[in-house]
Amino acid sequence: MQALATITSGRLSGAVEGGVSVFRGIPYAAPPVGEARLAAPRPPEPWTGVREAVEYGPTAPHPPYEEGMADTLPERVIPGDEYLNLNVWTPGTGERGLPVMVWIHGGAFTNGSGAEPGYEASAFARSGAVAVTLNYRLGAEGFALVDGAPANRGLLDQIAALEWVRDNIAAFGGDPGRVTVFGESAGAMSVVTLMAIPRARALFRRAIAQSGAGHTTLRAEDARTVARVLAERLGVAPTGAGLGAVPAKRLQEEQSRIVAELRGRADKELWGERLTALGALPFSPAVDGELLARRPIDALRAGEAADKDLLIGTTTEEYRLFLAAPGLIDHIREEHVAAQAAGTGLAPEAAGVYLDRNASPGDALAELGTDAVFRIPAHRVLEARAAAGGSGGTFGYEFAWRSPRFGGRLGACHALEIPFVFDNLGDGRNLAGPRAPQPLADAMHTAWLRFAAAGDPGWPQWDPGRRPFMRFDDPESALVEDPHARTRRLWEGLLD
């Protein structure tokens, strides 16, 4: 059965699947190829006749995940130039005024796409919302800061997709005035970053940040260091023309070497302290002074986006994904924990606190990494929102259910909550495994929908006195106050 829609570029023919109308591979911008490879996104070319929109479109060029993570985080790779595309799920094109949920995928700003099986969003449409997933430029093509090319092209792509939603989502039954932008990991970091950009935040009403906050941006000088070293190793000038002439595969290979180098024992004299810090992402948004005037966390502290509703949270054991999945967790020693604690600026006794709380040094480092990269940055966003005031609601959550995969060693790890949010437990090949609890998916999916529809997920707003979080777990979810208080206090005055 066909589903039909007419948008600004032309007519579309989608599919009706399980009572939901689905349109895939819709271009929201022209192909970024040739001279446009490192340029700002341009409008797509209109077409005549009816364009088929049944299959997912091409995905943005990206390298494979590193060894040990590729099997845990499978990715679709669909070749083609027209990869600035998006996908729409709707209860029906005859609907009107439905809430809209726009998903920005994660992947450390170097991987992922809106076409991943885990982002199949028909459950949102069955529940009465219009859902959108999108691609954006990744890695150096999206984020290398070089002369002769606009900064933060990946963010410009996200903004172009949101402008497409503003102009076209009514054709799918959605209300352009009721848009919620949500994402996980780099997608969540993108969401909070978009809140700091006036041009972007005019395009949505609410935001959900899953395992990402407002600290993960690069100073312009650090971003230029990354681009300069990348260009030197490729033998080209550190300009848009220089990098734009490098074949995609060669560019990805060298950027992957840089990512691996910075995660290992990188030369701090070459890279500097910030680029070698735990959780640093060398190809991520840069504070360029134009599109992004300051760090998102600083923008929120200044009261920007205070009229937007925000739901933000983490999983309980985020960092276990990066230690357990590649088999590193059993090789961590106490001195590694001490070194990481010192590197984050914690007091000397802090490493001992983490070691005393955990059964092994690997477990201690997993908790420390969770705090440093995810939990404490989320607290800083919540604190910033509370201090700034404003009309927007602010809510916190934590996902605590532990995956049985890898013999239970993944725990409540990074990205585990995604199939529950999407109510897409599927065939069990995700991080949750084949027997994930459906009632937990029902609870999270419903909360996200409630928030998108009315700005209230179903529990009290966050405040700095009680620090309430909804902790999602099975068999029961419950409101908790100031979870992990002991380790949270270790970070007072840090990660500001």
Please give the positions annotated as active site: 185, 318, 414
Residue type, 59: T
Q: Is 308 exposed, middle or buried (0-12, 13-18, 19+ CB in 10 A)?
A: buried
| Three-state secondary structure of 210-249 | ECCCCCCCEEHHHHHHHHHHHHHHHCCCCEHHHHHCCCHH
Task: Find out whether 155 and 194 touch, Cβ atoms under 8 Å.
Answer: yes
Query: Phi and psi (nearest 5°) for 367?
Result: -70, -40
- DSSP run (H or E) holding 3: strand 2-7
In the block, tokens 């997933």 appear at 133
What is the C-alpha separation between 177 and 226, in angstroms, rounded?
Answer: 39
Q: List the structure tokens of 479.
A: 């409101």
Residue 160 gets which letter from DSSP?
H
> What is the C-alpha separation between 157 and 155, in angstroms, rounded?
5
Q: Residue 74 phi/psi, 5° resolution?
A: -65, 150
Cis peptide leading into residue 79 (ω within 30°): no
**Residue 133 bridge partners (DSSP):** 87, 103
- CA–CA separation, 165 and 101 (whole Å): 10
